[in-house]
Structure formats: C-alpha cells, structure tokens
Amino acid sequence: MTEQTDQHQTGQNKTGQTETGQNKTGQDRTGSGHAGRIRAGHARAEPARHPERPAAPSGPGSPAGQRADGAGAPGTGTGTVVRDALGVGTAVGLSGFAFGVASADAGLGVLQTCALSLLVFTGASQFALVGALAGGGGPLAAAAGALFLGVRNAFYGLRLSGLLALPRSVRPLAAHWVIDETTAVTLAQSGRRAARLGFAVTGLSLYVLWNLTTLIGALGASELGDTRAWGLDAAGPAVFLALLAPMLSGALERAVAALGVLLVLVCVPLLPAGVPILAAALAAPAVLAVHGRAARGGAGRRAR
C-alpha cells in the first residue's frame, strides 16, 4: 500500500514536472514571439539608408551662403530685377525732356540746365527750382524749396546704407543715385545681391537717360516756340504728382498731402513764388502732432 502511494506521488511529481516544462516551453515561445515582434517593429521604424551625400558648400557664392546674407533669396531672378529696374529707369528718364524744356522756359541756359541734371539729379527738386524761377520767385527762395525737397534723400540713404552695405570707396558715388526711384526698386528686392543689382541698374539707366533727354529738351525748347502753347508747363507738376502718388499708401500720408495742397492753394496768392512750397512742408508735423495726440488719448481711455 505504501509502495503504491509512493508510486502515485512519484507519478504526480513527474506529471507536474512535465507540465512545468511545457509551461516554460510556452513561455520561451511567447518570449521568442514577442522579441521577434519588437525586432520587426524596429526594422519597420528604421529609415531606409541612402548613400551619404557630400555636405553643401557654405561659401558666399553657395546657396547656403546666399541664404545667410539674403543675397540669394528665392523668387528674385537676375532677369526680373534687371527688367524691373530698366523699366523704371526708362519711364522716369524720359521725363528729363520735360525738365529740359521747363528749365529753358524759366530762362536757364543749356549749360545751366544740364548742370542741374548732372549735379543735382533729383527730379522733384529740379522741377521745384525751375518752377519757382518761372513763377517769378527769387533764386534763394527757389533754391530753399529745392533743398528742402532734397532732404528726403538723406533719409533714403540711411535706410539703403545697411541694406546695400557698399564699400566705403563706392559710397560717395552711390549717394548721388539715392533718389525715389532707386530706393523703391532696391527696397522691393528680397536679398542683398538683388538689391545691389536693382540699385545699380536703376541708377545707371535713369542717370544716363535723364541727362540725355534733359539736353534734348533744352536744345529743342527754342524750336518748340512758346512752351505754354504746347502745355509743357504742366509737365513738371504732372511728373511730380506721378512720383508722389505711389507714396500715398496710407491714411496718414493722404492727410499730409491734402493739408499740403490746401496750404499751397492758400499761400500762392499771398506769398512769393517758392515760399508756398516751404509753407506746405508744415503739413507733415501738423498731421503727425494731431495723430500722436489722438493715439495717446486712445491709449489713456483704454487704460482707464
């Protein structure tokens, strides 16, 4: 009896060992399957390997270098910059003919007219000068009005100096080309290299064509006879308005222009020629003062 019991227990132990071995075998299989899934997941997650590519150059002439200084920004092709610059230079340069005629009509000689275009080279100031002289204004008043209008080019220069970053040896020559048109073309570009190209092409084409048509206008004024009969006396103000119109982009600018026109209309019958232009300059600080006061009042009400 005891032997049978021992045999029975021994059989149970063997059975338990067998089941334990089966469980271990199942666990091993389960572990193997889990590890296989992990390895398969890693294999799927690992990106495909490609042959190593050489690093892109980073010099000034490379795309990376161009992006670093803004010179090679996308969307600014050389052909597009040259085309736009030549378009502006040609369109505005042709109005030098009107200046030549207006200057001769104001009593200036051919050499004096050409000297203004060569040395002054800022259309609005030139038209203001000869317009004041033609209206009977004195040389000092006419020169003061032209000088006041030319002051804006100094502010253009401050903006373009950092954008173009030209060498010091070139800056005195480039400063002569800092006018409305070159500033507009330069600021429209998206990189330094394109800005330099736009500035150079606009300045060169406009300077050459403006002086050439000034000479033609001054020489041909005598052949035209009375320029007032041709309506060329209105060419100066028309060109000036064409230059001014694109700048009136906001309500503040339009308010300054409207007040300036009002001051000129009031002062023309009362003051000598050339002085109304100086009086119209008061429009800018007046409008800015009112605008600043309104802005401070609005900020104070919001704070309360």
How do residues 46-92 score in pLDDT, each as one tens digit?
444 444 444 444 333 333 333 334 444 444 588 989 998 998 888 88
Give all strands (DSSP E) within the chain, no chain letters. Answer: none
Between the alpha carbon of residue 47 and those of residues 37, 42, 43, 50, 51, the distances in Å are 17, 10, 8, 9, 13
Q: Write the CA distances from 131 to 101, 106, 146, 287, integer angstroms.
A: 11, 7, 10, 26
- What pLDDT, on the 0 to 100 scale, is given for residue 201? 95
What are the helix and strand counts (H, E) for the chain?
A: 16, 0
- The distance in angstroms from the start CA to the end CA of the chain is 105
Residues 6+ apart with CB under 8 A from 32: none
Alpha-carbon distance 113 to 102, whole Å? 9
Query: Is residue 243 within 8 Å of residue 124, measured between CB atoms?
Result: yes
pLDDT number for residue 152? 84
CA–CA distances in Å: residue 198 to residues 161, 204, 246: 14, 10, 19
pLDDT at residue 273, as a whole number:
64
Query: Cα–Cα distance between 202 and 82 in angstroms, integer?
Result: 8
What pLDDT, on a 0 to 100 scale, did the predictor assign at position 138? 84
Contact 203, 184 (CB under 8 A): no
Q: What is the predicted pLDDT for the residue at 128?
A: 85
Q: CA nearest 142: which of 120, 173, 166?
A: 120
Query: Which is it for the CA torsion 185, 248, 270, 232, positive or negative?
Result: positive
pTM for the model stands at 0.58
- For residues 211 and 96, the answer to whether their CB atoms sit within 8 Å is yes
Phi/psi of residue 152, nearest 5 degrees:
-60, -30
Residues in the chain predicted with pLDDT less than 70, given as ranges, are: 1-76, 225-240, 242-244, 273-274
Q: Long-range contacts of range 45-53, CB-CB < 8 Å, 24 or more positions apart?
A: none
Q: Which of 112, 135, 172, 89 is nearest to 276 (CA)?
A: 135
Q: Looking at residue 237, what is its pLDDT? A: 63
